[in-house]
Amino acid sequence: MATEKLYYQDPNLRSFTTQLRKIDQDEKGRLYAVLEKTAFYPTGGGQPHDTGTMNGIPVYDVEEVEGEIRHYLQEPLGLQDEYVGVIDWERRFDHMQQHAGQHILSAAFENQFGYPTVSFHLGKDTCTIDLHIPSLSDEEAEQAEKLANQMILENRPIETKWVTKEELTQYMLRKDLSVSENIRLVIIPDFDYNGCGGTHPESTGKVSSIKILHWEKQKKNMVRLYFVCGNRVLQQLHHKHQMIQSMTSILNAPQEQMKEATQRLVQQTKDLEKTVSELKTQLLEYEAQRFIEKAKQDNESTIKGIFFNRPITELQQLAKSMTLNRTDILVYLVNEVENKLQFVCARGQDLNVNMNQIAKCVLPLINGKGGGNDAFAQGGGVRTISGEELMEELNKQVTCFNKI
Ligand SMILES: [Zn+2]
Give the distance (Å) from ligand 1 centre to CA of residue 16.
23
| pLDDT at res. 404 | 40
pLDDT in tens, 225-234: 999 999 999 9
Residue 160 and residue 192 in contact, taking contact as beta carbons nearer than 8 Å: no
Give the distance (Å) from ligand 1 centre to CA of residue 56.
30
- Collapsing DSSP to helix, strand or coil, 19 comes out as coil
Give the distance (Å) from ligand 1 centre to CA of residue 370.
63
Would you kindly state where each structural domain of the chain is located, as residue ranges?
4-87, 93-247, 280-403
Determine how many CB atoms are found less than 10 A away from the CB of residue 127. 25
Mean pLDDT of the chain: 93
Contacts of 260 (CB under 8 A, 6+ apart): 253
Give the distance (Å) from ligand 1 centre to CA of residue 42.
14
Instruction: Name which CATH class applies to 4-87.
Output: mainly beta
280-403 adopts what CATH topology?
Diaminopimelate Epimerase; Chain A, domain 1 (3.10.310)
pLDDT in tens, 251-288: 999 999 999 999 999 999 999 999 999 999 999 999 99
Q: Report residue 401's pLDDT band, with 50, 70 and 90 as the boundaries.
A: low
Instruction: Name which CATH class applies to 93-247.
Output: alpha beta
Contacts of 208 (CB under 8 A, 6+ apart): 97, 152, 229, 230, 231, 233
- Residue count (the chain): 404
| Residue 125 backbone dihedrals phi, psi, to 5 degrees | -110, -35
C-alpha distances in Å from residue 147, one per residue of 132, 188, 205, 254, 318: 20, 14, 13, 32, 66
- Give me the mean pLDDT over the 121-148 stretch: 97
- Give me the mean pLDDT over the 339-356 stretch: 94
Give the distance (Å) from ligand 1 centre to CA of residue 162.
14
Short-list 378, 372, 332, 329, CA closest to 349: 329
pLDDT in tens, 163-206: 888 888 888 787 777 777 778 999 999 999 988 889 999 999 99
Residue 380 and residue 341 in contact, taking contact as beta carbons nearer than 8 Å: yes
pLDDT of 125 > 60? The answer is yes
Across-strand partners of 83? Answer: 18
pLDDT in tens, 236-245: 999 999 999 9
Give the distance (Å) from ligand 1 centre to CA of residue 216.
24
- If 0-12 CB within 10 Å is exposed, 13-18 middle and 19+ buried, where does residue 282 land? exposed
| pLDDT at res. 157 | 97
